[in-house]
Amino acid sequence: MSSKPRTAITPTRAENYAEWYQQVIRGADLAEPSPVRGSMVIKPWGYALWENMQRVLDDMFKATGHQNAYFPLFIPLSFLQKEAAHVEGFAKECAVVTHHRLEVGPDGKLMPVGELEEPLIVRPTSETIIGDAFSRWVQSYRDLPLLINQWANVVRWEMRTRLFLRTAEFLWQEGHTVHATREEALEETMRMLDVYATFAEEWMGMPVIKGEKTAGERFPGADQTFSIEAMMQDRKALQAGTSHFLGQNFARASEIRFLDRNGTHQYAWTTSWGVSTRMIGGLIMTHGDDDGLVLPPKLAPTHVVIIPIFRSDDERARVLEYCHGVARELGAQRYAERRVQAIVDEREERGGDKIWHWVRKGVPLRVEIGPRDIEKDALFVARRDRSPKDKQSIPRAQFVADIGAILQSIQDALFARAQAFRREHTHEIDTKEDFYAFFTPERVAENAPTPIHAGFALTHFSGEVELEQRIKDELSVTVRCVPLEGGEPGICPFTGKPSAQRVVWAKSY
Amino acid sequence: MSSKPRTAITPTRAENYAEWYQQVIRGADLAEPSPVRGSMVIKPWGYALWENMQRVLDDMFKATGHQNAYFPLFIPLSFLQKEAAHVEGFAKECAVVTHHRLEVGPDGKLMPVGELEEPLIVRPTSETIIGDAFSRWVQSYRDLPLLINQWANVVRWEMRTRLFLRTAEFLWQEGHTVHATREEALEETMRMLDVYATFAEEWMGMPVIKGEKTAGERFPGADQTFSIEAMMQDRKALQAGTSHFLGQNFARASEIRFLDRNGTHQYAWTTSWGVSTRMIGGLIMTHGDDDGLVLPPKLAPTHVVIIPIFRSDDERARVLEYCHGVARELGAQRYAERRVQAIVDEREERGGDKIWHWVRKGVPLRVEIGPRDIEKDALFVARRDRSPKDKQSIPRAQFVADIGAILQSIQDALFARAQAFRREHTHEIDTKEDFYAFFTPERVAENAPTPIHAGFALTHFSGEVELEQRIKDELSVTVRCVPLEGGEPGICPFTGKPSAQRVVWAKSY
């Protein structure tokens, strides 16, 4: 093993993908498990990334006419019962508040007292509690459309949790809108799916497929669910955002009615849509490499880290002054609607440790500056999308002037790489035998130390719920979505029946 | 009553202050009660105000070196027991999660099942759960200071709730910091108190007194608690923000220890500080008048509302085009670190209804534009800090050019008015008799239809906890704070003993 190239993360993706994921998070200091079952602590570097995502998404929501509001954390148990399918899907694993007081018991320990008349559920999603408010807010067609978004924490009592991907508590936004007509609600559903796709591709650099979910994967209570699906580097699919057309189901459940222009009472049409901190998991698994996190520049909390290199105190003062001058000049530049974020790493650490620290954290550009660079008025620059050893000397003025273009070229390179990876691992598969072979881990295991999944299969499908369930049971593979971009009709290899278009099959998170 | 001047809010402040407060919130559409006991829904106008507060505070926190992070909503019951005083103060009225699953019972209704081994408390504040994380993050003096802030929802099971002022769930920020020395922690405590005071005065236009709390009003577990105290228009005090010096109490409870430069393990020194959506209540009661909300321009979601006045469709098109032109020009101007927010009210409502709509919402500037104004290229402008009937014609170009100065003059006028009000109702009181008279409602009731409280009494106090408690029992009056700006020593009128300085006595929210 001594000839194995050094990587900043152990194990590598090929050695053990799941463990690599945990170690990237640890190495970048994004988050950590907490003593509260299934909940995580989002550390400053992870939270700064989330803040950047929030800011961009929030601007996109506002640009499409939405307003933020805030609704209660607790949902009365009776509310959850209002929509039948919703009960089935959401009322299962919830945190239930049953008491409102603590007292010191006979053993000197605190114990819950003050039982509530009606238990309260910590929101797993807010359709029912927001629907209750909307039933008051919506009276007339003049009140429509009602376009609301909430940034909030939600809780789903997951049994198997993984940082960012699936945690009992997570942060998200949930959009909830009310419309006078079916057409307008469907239009809104698609508009927000487009917003999510634009955010994923243009900001996260993560290519996604927009599509509709099959009945089995639909949101409980929705008429139609749409999602964006991304391919992770283990070739599994990650559902990165969903947009639901709720028909009149929740409007009937919550009595959201309005007086139309003709003076008739009508039930309204509603939508809901959300993305969560799960997107951070998607970002990690789209761009991360065996040296750790790789941040798309548009969302990176820090764009440029400057590492001063010096040997003596005398050199130190001179080098630091120069470094701060460069940081100031960079900070006066703009990229992707904010100032370029450049910092000087002045910590008392060895230069090599600093370099690997920032490599693991995924900062797009690393600049090393020592006395000899200052003499030449040039900087030693390394891009995070290339090998850590691939450094280039660039004249200071040129680097500062070009900083926006350099960051954009990293952003573009990451997106192009992710697109190429997805293309390479997406196959049109037309027979049942090829399909089963594609999704049988043994086949892949020959070439890799741990099983890597095959990728996306584009296969015709005649749509039977039982068939999809059987394939799920046999191969742990599901239809991730029916792509919106459509395609030619064909024959379903499982049933021999006609199929309107190929659908995306994959293992998924 | 027919000669009573019309007001947009009924009742007026003088008639029924508590009800006036609720009606201002309703009239401005800031928030509403929810069906969940003690929880409110923050509506878009209220949330937009909160977002502006958040943005300014967040910038101030970051400028003073803090980073945001996020910690679990749930706190294991055992954590609350770690700090003895904290248990007493906080473990009383909490939401307790005891189950993690719902099942359909024999009566067809959902019921909680899956009892947890250890109950979880919905955070009333996060010292204990954050302390647990800090005990891992802090190992060496190199890790200090650790300067963290969290934006979050918290829950305290209040029996009597009031929108914004006291709700079971509320939104806040809580800063938590760790330091190597007592001095640094105290310095941080005072720094953040200053940040809060600056925010209150310069952004909210709400004058505050910075001071220290007496032992009886201290945060449970703190060595010292400091607060900013503001006078509302009913002359009661509102504690609008607190900053706690926690000594080593929580560090001992959570085992936050570090290796100092000499290689010795030491307990760290911690602080915590917070402000909440309660500040919105303070803003309402500082500036609101009998026509509704009055927003300080620096925090107003909308600075200028433009109301088009027209009679025919032909006029409508011309007037709207002109209005949008003015809105665009205003939007290109900047005030208080953001673009001027100007909107045109195109709703299908009568002009008068629109005017009162925006008066109640507190928008700083109202501009009415009709055909005759367009001919003169002038605008009819009303400032929200003056009478609704006080309108002024201003040439368009001048209004646009001066918009920043006009908004600042409103901001300054509101602050000056609040300062004058506080000055008028703050009295140095030197005898026990005067003190009791000052705080006896009957005395005030002679001049007002409903009891209005007397104001702030600046009175010497020798500091006995029992004395303060007796006065609280008798008059419902407490020491709001011992002002940091100090003052001359004197004699306590209650005990005849020496007193280091006058303290602020008042009724409070």
pLDDT in tens, A379-393: 999 999 999 889 999
Who contacts B227 (Cβ-Cβ below 8 Å, separation ≥6)? B193, B210, B211, B212, B213, B239, B240, B241, B242, B243, B480, B481
Cβ <8 Å between A47 and B36: no
Alpha-carbon span B452 to B236, nearest angstrom: 9
Give the start-end residues of each E strand in B426-465: 426-428, 456-460
**Three-class secondary structure of residue A442 per DSSP:** helix
Of A68, A92, A95, the CB nearest to B47: A68
Contact A326, A369 (CB under 8 A): yes
Q: How many CA atoms lie within 13 A of A503 on its CB side?
A: 23
Show the CA angle centred on residue A329, arms to residues A326 and A331, nearest 5°: 110
Chain B touched by A110 (CB under 8 Å): yes
Longest dimension (CA), chain B: 84
Tokens (6 digits) for A147: 């376009």
pLDDT in tens, A395-432: 999 999 999 999 999 999 999 999 999 999 999 999 99
Cβ <8 Å between A112 and B96: yes
For A103, which residue in chain B has the nearest alpha carbon? B92
| Contact residues on chain B for A99, CB-CB shorter than 8 A | 95-96, 98, 119
Contact B27, B169 (CB under 8 A): no
For A66, which residue in chain B has the nearest alpha carbon? B44
Distance from CA of A204 to the nearest CA of B (A): 21
Type and span of the H or E element at A299: none
pLDDT of residue B82: 81
Tokens (6 digits) for B411: 């901001």
Tokens (6 digits) for A145: 């459309």
Alpha-carbon span A406 to A391, nearest angstrom: 14
Lowest model confidence (mean pLDDT) among A22-31, A81-90, B5-14, B91-100? A81-90
**Three-class secondary structure of residue B234 per DSSP:** coil
Contact B274, B150 (CB under 8 A): no
Using CA atoms in the order A211, A216, A217, A221, what is the torsion angle rounded to 10 degrees? 100
Q: What is the rounded end-to-end Cα distance, in angstroms, of chain B?
A: 32
Chain B touched by A40 (CB under 8 Å): yes
Strand order in the sheet with B342-344: B342-344, B304-308, B365-369, B378-383, B391-395
| Contact residues on chain A for B157, CB-CB shorter than 8 A | 100-101, 114
Cβ <8 Å between B91 and A71: no
Tokens (6 digits) for A134: 């909307």
pLDDT of residue A87: 73
Chain B touched by A155 (CB under 8 Å): yes
Residues of chain A with CATH 3.30.930.10: 17-71+125-287
Of A42, A98, A132, the CB nearest to B35: A132
Alpha-carbon span B268 to B266, nearest angstrom: 6
**Three-class secondary structure of residue B42 per DSSP:** strand
CATH superfamily of B304-409: Anticodon-binding domain (3.40.50.800)
| Contact residues on chain A for B104, CB-CB shorter than 8 A | 87
- What does the pLDDT profile of chain B (509 residues) look like in tens digits? 345 558 999 999 999 999 999 999 999 999 999 999 889 999 999 999 999 999 999 999 999 999 999 999 999 999 988 877 777 776 678 999 999 999 888 888 889 999 999 999 999 999 999 999 999 999 999 999 999 999 999 999 988 889 999 999 999 999 999 999 999 999 999 999 999 999 999 999 999 999 999 998 899 999 999 999 999 999 999 999 999 999 999 999 999 999 999 999 999 999 999 999 999 999 999 999 999 999 999 999 999 999 999 999 999 999 999 999 999 999 999 999 999 999 999 998 998 999 999 999 999 999 999 999 999 999 999 999 999 889 999 999 999 999 999 999 999 999 999 999 999 999 999 999 999 999 987 544 455 555 567 899 999 999 999 999 999 999 999 999 999 999 999 999 999 999 999 999 999 99
For B108, which residue in chain A has the nearest alpha carbon? A81
Contact B273, B189 (CB under 8 A): yes
Who contacts A24 (Cβ-Cβ below 8 Å, separation ≥6)? A9, A284, A288, A292, A293, A360
Cβ <8 Å between A97 and B102: no
pLDDT in tens, A150-209: 999 999 998 888 999 999 999 999 999 999 999 999 999 999 999 999 999 999 999 999
Q: Is the dihedral of CA B202, B203, B204, B209 positive or negative?
A: negative
Residue A464: pLDDT band with limits 50, 70, 90: very high
Of A42, A94, A136, the CB nearest to B102: A94
Contact B235, B505 (CB under 8 A): no
Alpha-carbon span A406 to A84, nearest angstrom: 53
| Contact residues on chain A for B171, CB-CB shorter than 8 A | 70
**Three-class secondary structure of residue A374 per DSSP:** helix
Tokens (6 digits) for A480: 């991730």
CB atoms within 10 A of CB B458: 18
Q: Which residue has the tokens 């018991």?
A: A105
Chain B touched by A407 (CB under 8 Å): no
Phi-psi category of residue B13: left, alpha or beta, with phi > 0 → left and psi -120 to 50 → alpha: alpha
Alpha-carbon span B234 to B21, nearest angstrom: 11
pLDDT of residue A443: 45
| Contact residues on chain B for A155, CB-CB shorter than 8 A | 73
Cβ <8 Å between B95 and A93: no
Of A41, A67, A68, the CB nearest to B133: A41
Cβ <8 Å between A122 and B121: no
Residues of chain A with CATH 3.30.110.30: 426-506
Cβ <8 Å between A110 and B91: yes
Distance from CA of B481 to the nearest CA of A (A): 30
Which stretches within A199-336 are classed as H helix? 249-254, 278-287, 313-331
**Three-class secondary structure of residue B64 per DSSP:** coil
Of the candidates B214, B212, B208, the residue with the CA atom closest to the CA atom of residue B231: B208
Who contacts B321 (Cβ-Cβ below 8 Å, separation ≥6)? none
CATH superfamily of A17-71+125-287: Bira Bifunctional Protein; Domain 2 (3.30.930.10)
Alpha-carbon span B74 to B96, nearest angstrom: 9
Cβ <8 Å between B71 and A41: yes
Q: Is the dihedral of CA B71, B74, B78, B82 positive or negative?
A: positive
Chain A touched by B492 (CB under 8 Å): no
Residues of chain B with CATH 3.40.50.800: 304-409
pLDDT of residue B443: 45
Cβ <8 Å between A68 and B48: yes
pLDDT of residue B442: 57
Cβ <8 Å between A36 and B75: yes
Chain A touched by B313 (CB under 8 Å): no
Peptide bond into B44 cis (omega under 30): no
Arithmetic mean of pLDDT over chain A: 94
DSSP string, B5-16: PP-SSSS-TTT-
Who contacts B255 (Cβ-Cβ below 8 Å, separation ≥6)? B135
Q: Say which DSSP state B409 is in.
A: H
Residues of chain A with CATH 3.40.50.800: 304-422
pLDDT of residue B450: 52
Alpha-carbon span B113 to A314, nearest angstrom: 69
Alpha-carbon span B348 to B355, nearest angstrom: 13
Alpha-carbon span B227 to B194, nearest angstrom: 10
Of the candidates A74, A47, A292, A277, the residue with the CA atom closest to the CA atom of residue B133: A47
For B168, which residue in chain A has the nearest alpha carbon? A72
Q: Is the dihedral of CA A53, A59, A64, A69 positive or negative?
A: positive
Chain A touched by B84 (CB under 8 Å): no
ipTM of the complex: 0.96
Q: Which amino acid is at B423?
A: R
Average pLDDT over residues A488-497: 97
Q: Is residue A299's pLDDT more than 60?
A: yes
Helix, strand, coil percentages for chain A (3-state, nearest 5)? 35, 30, 35
What Cα–Cα distance (Å) separates residue A416 from each residue in A92, A201, A207, A409, B268? Answer: 41, 10, 9, 10, 48
Chain A touched by B196 (CB under 8 Å): no
Residues in A 122-151 with any Cβ partner in B closer than 8 A? 122, 129, 132-133, 136, 142, 148
Helix, strand, coil percentages for chain B (3-state, nearest 5)? 35, 30, 35
| CATH number of the B426-506 domain | 3.30.110.30
Alpha-carbon span B441 to B507, nearest angstrom: 11
Residues in A 340-379 with any Cβ partner in B closer than 8 A? 347-348
Which stretches within A425-464 are classed as H helix? 432-438, 441-445
Alpha-carbon span A239 to A248, nearest angstrom: 25
Cβ <8 Å between B34 and A71: yes
Chain B touched by A261 (CB under 8 Å): no
Chain A touched by B261 (CB under 8 Å): no
Alpha-carbon span A476 to A85, nearest angstrom: 24
For B119, which residue in chain A has the nearest alpha carbon? A112
Structural fold of domain B17-287: BirA Bifunctional Protein; domain 2 (3.30.930)
Q: How many CA atoms lie within 13 A of A256 on its CB side?
A: 34
CB atoms within 10 A of CB A317: 11
Chain A touched by B75 (CB under 8 Å): yes
Q: Give domain A304-422's CATH architecture.
A: 3-Layer(aba) Sandwich (3.40)
Cβ <8 Å between A32 and B71: no
Burial level of B181, CB count in 10 A (0-12/13-18/19+)? middle
Of the candidates A131, A384, A400, the residue with the CA atom closest to the CA atom of residue A251: A131
From the candidates B50, B73, B134, which should be mutated to test the interface with A, based on the most A CB atoms within 10 A?
B73
